[in-house]
Structure 1
Amino acid sequence: MTDILAAFAWIADPANWAGPGGIPARTGEHILYSLLTLLLAAVIALPIGFAIGHTGRFRGIAVGVSGALRALPTLGLVIYLALITTNLTIVPPLIALTILAIPPVLAGAYSGVQSVDRAPIDAARAIGMTGWQVFSKVELPLALPLVIGGLRSGALQVIATWTVAAILPVGGLGRFLIDGIAVQNYPEMLGGSIIVIALALVSDGLFAIVQRLVVPRGVVAGRVRDTGEGDRRSTRTPARESAPTT
């Protein structure tokens, strides 16, 4: 309990909020790094995932590759890329964390498209829609909740693992952990961890809101309408059964 109070006291100290090494600056760097990583992962994974989900081809390969990428050790990959590129900027961790963010984004993309009910797809083809029209006007809108879910999972992983990139001379909230270890400043280490957790929770909440908003209104209305009709049928049935017969 004492350590937690000391961590919050470190966070509340005005001295830790000023300058290029302060909490706002480090948080901004961490957000920028995370957004850039997630953007690169989305640019790579979403088109591949959409193509797999739309055509149904190479799904087994995608699952195998995703599983292999998930098993890669983050810190080891960061250090390995730094050694082979002799680059101590954000490039090695950016590459490493983009690789690690691809699996959840890829899985969300192809599983979202594949989960779309065949009835609206067949109806769209029956009225003469092309493959691209079927994807853009039917499959993608219905798949968006799962696609956003994949991005949500990838964002949480990226925010959490960018802290290990501070093993290199880069910015971000990981600096508080690595620098705190060097001087055994435990309130700084725990305070930095609390800020990372708070940032991850805020990100998860924002993605949860977006994930709810992208559900097509027709899908929601259809569910409500079906439920209402089911309730009306259930209330009418006993009346018919209890009517006397002649």
Structure 2
Amino acid sequence: MNLLFEAFAWIFSPDRLTGSVPLPTAIAQHLAFTFGSVLIAAIIAIPWGWAIGHFGRGREVAVFLSGAARALPALGVVALLLELIPVSYKTLAAVVAFVLLAIPSILAGAYSGIEAIDRTVIGAGRAVGMTQWQILFKIEIPLGLSLLINGLRSATLQVVATVTIAAYFGLGGLGFYIMQGLANRDFVQILGASIIIIALALILDGLFALLARYAVPRTESRRRRRPTPAPISSNVGYAPSL
């Protein structure tokens, strides 16, 4: 318990505002890697996922590639890319690894959101004369937005935790304090940095949870909240004879 108190004291110490990597700078670097990687992954995965969900083709390939990408160790990918490209591009190598980590969850959320839509809704859109693009942008994307946000949520949480390894290659972030603490056997510093990373993950998780909740279309939300009517008993209105 004393170690936990010391870790919080380390976090809120004025010394964290100075030094080679001040804490606010480390947090900013960590979030920049996280949001930048997730944004690039979203640009790649979302159109791909929407195309798979809309046309119903390529799902097997997407599942295979997503599984393969999940199996890749981020640290190994960064190390391999650093061997293949000049050291001056080590930031690019790290971002590529984080993007590969984020793509599977976003891709799955994009196409599963469209696949989960009731086909009768799609048929109704076609029946009133909507084009394929109108069905995609006016029906499928709005109704599948909640699952897409959950995919973004999962990807962000994976990346925000994995970005810690960026410090192993001298790229900054909150992992800097963990690497420095390991070198100096400073367990208070290691725990303090870990607490901040956990706090960031929880905050981001809460924000995405709220976003997913309000992304549900109003009609769908009302339908989910509508209570199921109680069954009408066959004895209603029946007066037993005395």
Query: Shorter-chain TM-score: what band?
Result: over 0.9
> Residue deviations 1:9-35, cap 9 Å, x none?
111211112356121111111111111
Partner of 2:216, secondary structure, is coil
Counterpart check, 1:204 vs 2:205: yes
Q: Distance in 2 between matches of 1:239 and 1:18?
A: 78
Matching residue of 1:65? 65
Counterpart check, 1:237 vs 2:238: no
Q: 1:98/1:240 Cα in 2 relative to 1: closer, same or farther (>3 Å)?
A: same
For structure 1, the residue ranges without an aligned partner over 5 or more in a row are none
- Does 10-19 or 33-42 show the bigger shift? 10-19
Q: Distance in 1 between matches of 2:25 and 2:68?
A: 35
Instruction: Give 1:41's aligned amino acid.
Output: A
Q: Distance in 1 between matches of 2:17 and 2:238?
A: 74
Q: Distance in 2 between matches of 1:154 and 1:184?
A: 31
Displacement of 1:237: 2.2
Q: Distance in 2 between matches of 1:150 and 1:62?
A: 14
Q: Distance in 1 between matches of 2:20 and 2:29?
A: 10
Displacement of 1:87: 2.4
Displacement of 1:131: 0.4
1:174·1:192 contact (CA, 8 Å) conserved in 2? Answer: yes
Q: Distance in 2 between matches of 1:170 and 1:220?
A: 44
Displacement of 1:238: 5.2
Q: Distance in 2 between matches of 1:85 and 1:183?
A: 31
Matching residue of 1:145? 146
Q: Distance in 1 between matches of 2:33 and 2:18?
A: 20
Q: Report the TM-score, using the length of structure 2 for normalisation.
A: 0.94
Cα RMSD for the two superposed structures: 1.6
User: Once the two structures are aligned, what percentage of the paired residues are identical?
Assistant: 45
Matching residue of 2:215? 214
Instruction: Give 1:168's aligned amino acid.
Output: F
Matching residue of 1:78? 78
Q: 1:147/1:243 Cα in 2 relative to 1: closer, same or farther (>3 Å)?
A: farther
Instruction: Give 1:33's aligned amino acid.
Output: F
Q: Distance in 1 between matches of 2:239 and 2:93?
A: 77
Partner of 1:240, secondary structure, is coil
Matching residue of 1:166? 167
> Residue deviations 1:51-78, cap 9 Å, x none?
0011110111111111111000111111
Q: Distance in 1 between matches of 2:183 and 2:20?
A: 19
Displacement of 1:240: 2.3
Q: Report the TM-score, using the length of structure 1 for normalisation.
A: 0.93
Q: Distance in 2 between matches of 1:16 and 1:176?
A: 10
Q: Distance in 2 between matches of 1:19 and 1:98?
A: 30
Instruction: Give 2:45's aligned amino acid.
Output: A
Q: Distance in 1 between matches of 2:106 and 2:20?
A: 33
Q: 1:55/1:243 Cα in 2 relative to 1: closer, same or farther (>3 Å)?
A: farther
- Does 47-56 or 88-97 show the bigger shift? 88-97
Displacement of 1:242: 4.5
